[in-house]
């Protein structure tokens, strides 16, 4: 009887042993496959889009395209980022909405525009805050810039790489130079969709009007507005010299372009690709700053060749008028004590 019972018992032991062996082999196979799965994920290809409203010839657009070409090469074709310049994917306002929804991966645009969504990201455009580029880069690559970048997180966006130089803004007019605040009284001046720039020119008794950059040339040509304000590279890239005669060096505001991405889309990239892209965007932003400065110094002669006339402006009377109008006090309250203290760390006392 015991012998009869021992046969199935031994068979059961053999069956259990085979099952255990198979399970062990399965586990080993899974372990062997894991690196393969990781490798497949690491080798996946990603395609992304950057929207920018300014022309392809502008130093910022050129820098983004150069960065994306490097990213494609260094990633071994794993990450393709296409740049769509000249408002091809919509106006600044449209593309900011699209990047928030994730329909577009990145938008590169000005602090004056981002300030509509994240107010503190336009604090660099407080009038006459920065006397020179040395002060600008200390602030933007320092504590003020870090504070501004962190603010994008609150709206599920992420700033990628360093900011691009968009230059000190100068005022142009169709028929007269701007030499003092009284020359701005009643002037119909185009500004981007930016509360802080609208507030600035209202404080100087001008009549600001919002016009998208893509429609600016026509607005000036048809006298919808008398003048506008932009840095020289933008004036040249958009051919405003054809419809504006005078350029006055007011340097009333310095602005930058920030590359901002949809956080979900950005985090969907493998960590190594995010690190690679950030490093390359950083490096090309630094190159863009140098290219922008070089271009800026050569553009006066070029624009004079197109018939533009230039004049220097003393900014002190403009700043005094803004102080009297309550402009600085208003924006100090809007930005809050922490952000304002960081701005004044670099600019000195403003309000």
Instruction: Please say if the pLDDT value at position 158 is more than 60.
Output: yes
With residue 169 as reference, give the H or E element that holds it.
strand 164-173
The domain limits of the chain are: 46-347
**pTM higher than 0.85, yes or no?**
no
Q: Which fold has domain 46-347?
A: D-Maltodextrin-Binding Protein; domain 2 (3.40.190)
Distance CA 197, CA 184 (A): 14
Q: How far is CA 65 from CA 53, 85, 146, 285, in A?
A: 14, 10, 25, 11
Contacts of 341 (CB under 8 A, 6+ apart): none
> What pLDDT shows up at residue 15?
42
* pLDDT category of residue 42 using cuts at 50, 70 and 90: low
> What pLDDT shows up at residue 204?
98
Contact 160, 279 (CB under 8 A): no
pLDDT in tens, 63-113: 999 999 999 999 999 999 999 999 999 999 999 999 999 999 999 999 989
């Amino acid at each position: 009887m015991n012998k009869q019972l021992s046969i199935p018992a031994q068979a059961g032991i053999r069956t259990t042993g085979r099952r255990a062996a198979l399970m062990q082999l399965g586990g080993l196979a899974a372990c062997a496959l894991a690196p393969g799965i990781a490798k497949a994920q690491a080798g996946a290809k990603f395609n992304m889009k950057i929207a920018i409203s300014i022309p392809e010839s502008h130093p910022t657009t050129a820098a983004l395209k150069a960065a994306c070409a490097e990213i494609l090469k260094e990633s071994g074709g794993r990450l393709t980022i296409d740049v769509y310049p000249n408002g091809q994917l919509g106006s600044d306002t449209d593309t900011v909405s699209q990047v928030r929804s994730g329909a577009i991966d990145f938008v590169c645009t000005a602090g004056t525009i981002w300030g509509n969504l994240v107010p503190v990201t336009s604090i660099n455009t407080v009038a006459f805050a920065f006397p020179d580029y040395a002060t600008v880069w200390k602030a933007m690559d320092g504590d003020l810039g870090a504070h501004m970048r962190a603010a994008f997180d609150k709206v599920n966006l992420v700033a990628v790489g360093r900011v691009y130089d968009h230059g000190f803004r100068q005022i142009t007019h169709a028929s007269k130079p701007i030499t003092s605040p009284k020359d701005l009284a009643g002037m119909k001046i185009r500004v981007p969709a930016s509360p802080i720039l609208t507030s600035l020119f209202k404080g100087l008794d001008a009549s600001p009007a919002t016009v998208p950059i893509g429609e600016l040339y026509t607005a000036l040509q048809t006298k919808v507005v008398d003048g506008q304000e932009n840095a020289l590279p933008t004036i040249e890239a958009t051919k405003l010299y054809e419809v504006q005669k005078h350029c006055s060096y007011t340097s009333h505001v310095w602005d930058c372009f920030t590359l901002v991405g949809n956080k979900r889309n950005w985090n969907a990239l493998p960590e190594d690709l995010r690190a690679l892209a950030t490093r390359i965007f950083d490096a090309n932003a630094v190159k863009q700053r140098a290219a922008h400065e070089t271009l800026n110094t050569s553009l006066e002669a070029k624009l004079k060749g197109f018939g533009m006339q230039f004049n220097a402006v003393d900014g002190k009377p403009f700043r005094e008028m803004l102080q009297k109008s309550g402009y600085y006090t208003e924006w100090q309250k809007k930005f809050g004590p922490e952000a304002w203290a960081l701005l004044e760390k670099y600019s000195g006392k403003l309000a």
